Each structure stands twice: as structure tokens, then as C-alpha cells.
Structure 1
Amino acid sequence: MLVLVETDSLVLIEALTLLLMLAEVEASPEPLLVLVEPEPLPELLLALIEADTLLLKLVLADSDALIDADTLVLMLVLADTEALIEADTLVLMLVLADTEALIEADTLVLMLVLTDSDALIEADTLVLMLVLADSDALIEADTLLLKLVLADTEALIEADTLLLMLVLAD
């Protein structure tokens, strides 16, 4: 079962409250996708990038076709006109498990586009922690390939820009 936090266009996700967790995906009668409403958060006063203009798309490719790409769409708003997001306040934790085989870390390509209305968020201010786990072993975080693509927002990034793409291949 996958669990994600859904936001709306009136809410700014504060860095300390952002925690996206993808639990083990196994053959079970449970639904594949469950939406969990977060606690009410402070509204962004100066500017807000609407949630429906920003899509985080996870593409999971496995030789056994574990998860189809169109089954995972995460919507996320990251906007701050006052300050850059601190590294220790934003943690994305992804737990991906395959019942048959563990997807190796060196096949993971993470591309993330984050925008700020005033300045680019520098790569060293953002921490993305990805944990790939099965019942036997954990792949250490330092084996993951992380690529950050930063963009300036003269205009809103549209949904088809694909803010986040995770490609996992056996």
C-alpha cells in the first residue's frame, strides 16, 4: 500500500511537516493508493504556486512491471518567498520494496525541479533521503544517484513539466 500526503492550493507545505512515505508494495487486497489529508497549515501570504500546476510523477519500471507509471501521481507545493528551504527541514523518505528482487540503487535517477519566486534553491540546501528496503537488507543512502535540476520561476511550472521523475529499473 502506498501512502501519500495530499495538499490543496491554499496551503503551503511547511518543511517540517513534509513527509512522503511510500510503504512496501505487495500483492494484497489493500488499495494501491491512499490519500491522507494533512493537518491545516499556515497560508502563504505573498505568493503561492497552486498545487494543480505542480505534479510529482513517480515512474517505477521493473522487469516484472511492479508499478505502472500512471498509478503514482504526487501533488506537492514548494514555495517560499522569504527564505530558502533549509537542508535539515525537508526530508522526503521513500521506501520502495519488491517482493522478488531489490531494485539496485545505481539504477535510480532522481530529477527534481524546485522553484522559489525570488531565488533558486541551492542544491546543498535540500536533503532528499531515499531508502530502498526489503526484508533482508537496506541499501545505504550514499549509493543513490541524486540529480537536482533547479529552475527560476518567471512563470508557473505546468503539470506536464514533470517536476519529479523517479525511474527505477531492474
Structure 2
Amino acid sequence: MIEIETTDGRIFKIEEKQAYKSVLIKNVCTSTTYKNPIALQVSSFIFEIIQRYMEVDTSQLSKDYNPLEIRFKQSDLELFMEYDSRTLLDICNGANYLEYPYLLELCCKIISEKMKHKNTRELAEFIGVECNITDEELMKIEREFEWISSDE
């Protein structure tokens, strides 16, 4: 068992097989003389979601995988589609930090789907930033990047 400590001090015990889905955790365990718990820069709320997914994830990506060739399972897409944008972005950041490639690609796919056909103000709201530009500037940006909203 590997013990993980999150930023808020919570300790998780996870099986090595699951933990090694994270390149970061695997490298800490195999390339250093680590002591339990391994301190990670992820909140317990987000790590708990990631850990639950580690338990059911059966994907096997090669080291040189092509993101465009990944075929996501519908059940995986549905599992993460339920999360609000802030949580989904935090899971994506956690997967990136942990170097968990399949989960990172899955989150990016879901985020891109949720961002489709949104205007600039809606995108700013989605990622949680304030949009301080005028309507005229917004229209110019939307015209300039109109191709982003196409289905091509």
C-alpha cells in the first residue's frame, strides 16, 4: 500500500497498481527512497475523485500515444461529464500534476466538448475569469476566431 497525503493533510491508502497509473507517484516510488506518506500538491476533494477513477480505469496508453487516436469509453465520458467546470478544470490540473495521461486526455476531451459553441463571455465564465472587454472588442475577437466554433 502506498500512502498519499493531500494539501489539506488527508491521508489516502492506495494499491500500488492503481497508484502507478500516475507517472509522478511511480517515479517517486521507484526512483527515490521515499517515506509514506507521499505529499502531493492536490486537494483531498480532487484526489479522491482521481483515486476513485484509478480503481476503475482499465486504459493502457503507450509512452508515445497519439491523443487523436484515443477512443474513450462512453462510461468514462459520462462519469466526468457530470462535474461542473471548476471541478473538471481542477481534476484536469490534478491529472496533469500527477502525470496521469489517460485521465488528462479524458478531461481535455470533456472540457473541449463543454466549451464548444460558447461565445467569449461564456468561455470566460466557464473558466472562472472576469471578462473586462467591451462588446465591440468581443465581436472583433469572435469574428477573428470564428473558425474555432466550426465543426470541422
Q: What interval of TM-score do these two structures reach, taking the shorter chain for normalisation?
A: under 0.3
- Looking at both structures, which has the greater relative contact order when contacts are Cα pairs under 8 Å and sequence separation is at least 6? 1
- Which structure is larger by alpha-carbon Rg, 1 or 2? 2
Whichever structure has more helix as a proportion of its residues is 2
**Given the two structures, how large is their TM-score scaled by the length of structure 1?**
0.24
**Given the two structures, how large is their TM-score scaled by the length of structure 2?**
0.26
